[in-house]
Amino acid sequence: MIILTNTGGVAMTNCYLIADEKAGQAVLFDAPDHTTAPLLEEAAARGWDLTGLWLTHGHFDHFADHPVVRRRFPTVKVLLHALDEPKAQHPDVQTRMFQLPFVIPPLTADAHPTDNEKLAIGSLEVVVIHTPGHSPGHVVYHFPKEKVLVGGDLIIGGSIGRTDLPDSDHQQMEASVRRVMCLPAATRLLGGHGEASTLAEERQTNPFVQEILAAG
């Protein structure tokens, strides 16, 4: 397993390229604006077949670069939970809301991941966990054997995703945090923003997570 990261765009969002180097297969997780090109070039340089763009949710800073990905790897399959696809199909709503200085083409996913669905990158097993709250269709991608979690905007390095957006739900967010925090403490958390950490570190240092767990 190889994990490569790049961070950028107007919201300084992380995207991850995760590969089974022996199988020569890779998947890009999230596609922040003006951020994916270096990772796509790296995948091509290493001879990896980029089979998927797996999105954690439909906020603009996580899918804006989708045309860049599809131009470089035309056969890539885009995954996005069905509850968040309306955001991707009508990106102009977010463009106006956040007064973005660029246009995002509409996106229609190739498939809709569901809770507990098992996916694969070569020999790497990936389990989808539906974690609504920040967004109705927010999901995280768990690599149980490798103890890695691509966490989107659920838990983000000392904080949690905002729940003051029109379709956010703080009670759902709390339930999602509790569920994810039941995973092994050594699990490496690759959040949508900020530095990587572990679930153990978040339990010990993240006041938002601590408050949620104490109330549960």
Domain CATH code at residue 75: 3.60.15.10
pLDDT given for residue 98 in this prediction? 77
What CA–CA distance (Å, rounded) separates 38 from 68?
11
**What residue numbers bound the domain in which 148 lies?**
2-215
In degrees, rounded to 5, the angle at the alpha carbon of residue 67 between the alpha carbons of residues 98 and 40 is: 110
Least confident of 51-60, 86-95, 198-207: 86-95
Produce one character per residue of 46-59: b if its CB has 16 or more CB atoms within 10 Å, e if not: eebebbbbbbbbbb
In degrees, rounded to 5, the angle at the alpha carbon of residue 63 between the alpha carbons of residues 183 and 125 is: 35
pLDDT given for residue 216 in this prediction? 76
Average pLDDT score over residue span 7-18: 96
Please give the helix or strand (H or E) that residue 203 lies within, else none.
helix 199-205
Cβ neighbors of 108 (< 8 A, separation 6 or more) are 85, 88, 89
Q: Of 125, 106, 109, give the one whose Cα is nearest residue 53.
A: 109
Entry pTM: 0.96
- Domain total for the chain? 1
